[in-house]
Amino acid sequence: MLPEIVRAAALNFENRTVIDSENNIHLSYKDLDLISDEVSGALLQRGLLEGSILLLSLPTSIEYLIIYIAASKIGVITAGVNPRFRASERKSICEITEPDLIIATSELSDGIPKDLSVEITEITENTEKLLAGLRSDSFQPKKLEENLDRAVCICFTSGSTGIPKGALFTNKELLAIQKMDTEGVWGSGGHLVPSTAFAHVGSMTKLPWQLSKGVTLHVLDRWKAEKVMGLIETHRISAIAGVSAQIALLLKVENFENYDLSCVRAIVAGGGPSPPSLVIRAKNSFNAPYSIRYSSTESGGIGLATSLESSVEESLYTIGKPRPGVQAKILDEDGNLVENGEVGELFLKTPSSMNSYWHDSKNTKKFLVDGWLKTEDLARKDEEGLFRLAGRTNEMFVRGGYNVYPQEVESVLSTHPKIEQMVLIPKPHDTLGQTGVAFVVPSHSEENPTLEDLVEFGKDKLAKYKLPEEISIISEMPLKSGFKIDRSSLKNLFPGASE
């Protein structure tokens, strides 16, 4: 599926730039097809065959995309290691994938077991030397037989709940994602700055639709807000994409008001919910509508979304409705549908969902149930069909016998004018079991919010037992590799925090 799109794009867009990297290498659609053919030949020379496993431990770079495409042309399954992962995480992924070959840079080879086949390559700033040691024109890839069930890539989760799990995607899922994201329309072009590492599901499963649309990808080794703002202005990028933390960083760029952002027509925040205060600031600052996209690695990056024409209530406090082709339901602990307004676990059914977890039948059976994906996210559905997150199943805590859902509390209190960002973390209590601690990043007001400010602000919207009983002022939220808030780090900031 991916090879066919690459070849068709080379014919349709020829000399249009497909990749523009920050080290000044520019690649056309035609050259991408030709060079990936030569890399396919080199992979064949190294003994890789259809069904072999190739693991890439590379920065977000032109080299990563070329090798991924080359592998797909000969039916080799590509797995990627997030370049921000530590050596121990890299080792775990090697053990899970059991690769036939690993291609890595020297800087990202730490943790790779010595007994595995590793080829070290380096990132170049010279187009002529691009993957010079990994190209061969003596072996040309043969056209693969059409097979929707052929495995293409393995995308690893962030590992926030333990060892990363590898979500396997076949041609069937990639084709579904391409159709769901483009509605089958080819060639509108435009410019895009990838907001995730290329090893992430947001790139590996999205590449087919990006190529079919003829976009120019502006590749950054590491996502940096100042560089992204410059690219938006220079290339008149109409849609800003990223997770909420990245949108917040864009708003903090020095001299933000001096950028010409009249080109921006939409802000798309993926992954999960955005703080209401951020949605308001971003809409006002960019003068553009804001859409929240809820998804996961396992769902192929597709799930629910708020409309760009949504009401204030929908855009600030919900994750919207299922996207076309997606179904969603909320179940209680016994597997029964809950009534509207009640909290339960959110399940998704979408053709974009992963095929399975790689080499993990136990978790595959746990998270894929009769075609439905178990998300481990708590949610409620209102009378208008809008879904509202209440937090993760492992984030809910019990105060004095009552369930408290952090996401619900955060969505209310984070709209306080003195708060830029807020997270509620449970803390053990001798009598009540657990109580909530509000970790707050203050806004630029003259004084920090107090606990009394939060209680007064939330008392008319939240039951008393849901309100925090302590407050901790911090300068910024700790983030994990995917720009998601690291709640575990916050728990470690006070003694005896719940695990």
- pLDDT of res. 499: 43
Identify whether 499 is part of a domain: no
What residues of the chain score a pLDDT lower than 50? 160-161, 496-499
| Residue that is written with structure tokens 């809950």 in the block | 338
Identify whether 498 is part of a domain: no
Identify whether 218 is part of a domain: yes
Plot region of 87 (φ>0 → left; ψ -120 to 50 → alpha; else → beta): alpha
| CA torsion, ordered 110, 111, 113, 118, to nearest 10 deg | -40
CATH of the domain at 468: 3.30.300.30
**Domain final residue pick, 201, 223, 245:** 223
Q: Residues, the chain, total?
A: 499
Identify whether 307 is part of a domain: no
**8 A C-beta contact, residue 21 and residue 41:** no
Identify whether 309 is part of a domain: no
CATH of the domain at 16: 3.40.50.12780
DSSP code of residue 227:
H
Which residues span the domain enclosing 441? 396-491
Q: Cβ contacts of residue 32 below 8 Å, gap of 6+?
A: 6, 9, 10, 18, 19, 65, 66, 69
- pLDDT of res. 23: 81
Identify whether 331 is part of a domain: no
**Domain final residue pick, 178, 194, 223:** 223
- pLDDT of res. 404: 87
Position 81, amino acid = V
**8 A C-beta contact, residue 491 and residue 485:** no
**Domain final residue pick, 223, 254, 274:** 223
Element at 136 (helix H, strand E): none
Count: domains in the chain: 2
Cross-strand partners of 434: 428
Identify whether 357 is part of a domain: no
d(CA 165, CA 176): 22
DSSP 285-322: HHTS-EEEEE--TTTTT--EE--TT--HHHHHH--BEE
- pLDDT of res. 496: 47
| Residue that is written with structure tokens 């069904």 in the block | 51
Identify whether 339 is part of a domain: no
